Structure 1
Amino acid sequence: MLEMILVCYCRNPAKLNTSWSNDNPGRGFFGCKKFGSGFRKPCQFFT
């Protein structure tokens, strides 16, 4: 079995997040694990 892991521009495994915006409530997306966690500069990876 082959498993793929998305890697962000920081070379860290991307984190699965859930959007709660009005346009995309409940929609999943992958982003930098640093986003929203108090780090100064997440790499802006988003897919």
Structure 2
Amino acid sequence: AAAVAAVSADDVVATLEKLHGLVAKGILSQAEFDAKKAELLGKLS
């Protein structure tokens, strides 16, 4: 069976902060941020 990489809450928060910075700069759209956020939060459960 394939091992699933463990993702810590701290890693998710750090990634979300970086992505939010890209939204603030206009590099990433809010919709793209929301999609990535949902994906990251899904990895925590």
Both proteins in one fold, TM over 0.5 = no
TM range (shorter): under 0.3
Which is richer in strand?
1
Compare the two structures and name the one with the higher helix fraction. Answer: 2
Normalised to the residue count of structure 1, the TM-score between the two structures is: 0.26
Greater relative CO, 1 or 2 (CA 8 Å, sep 6+)? 2
TM score, norm. by length of structure 2: 0.26
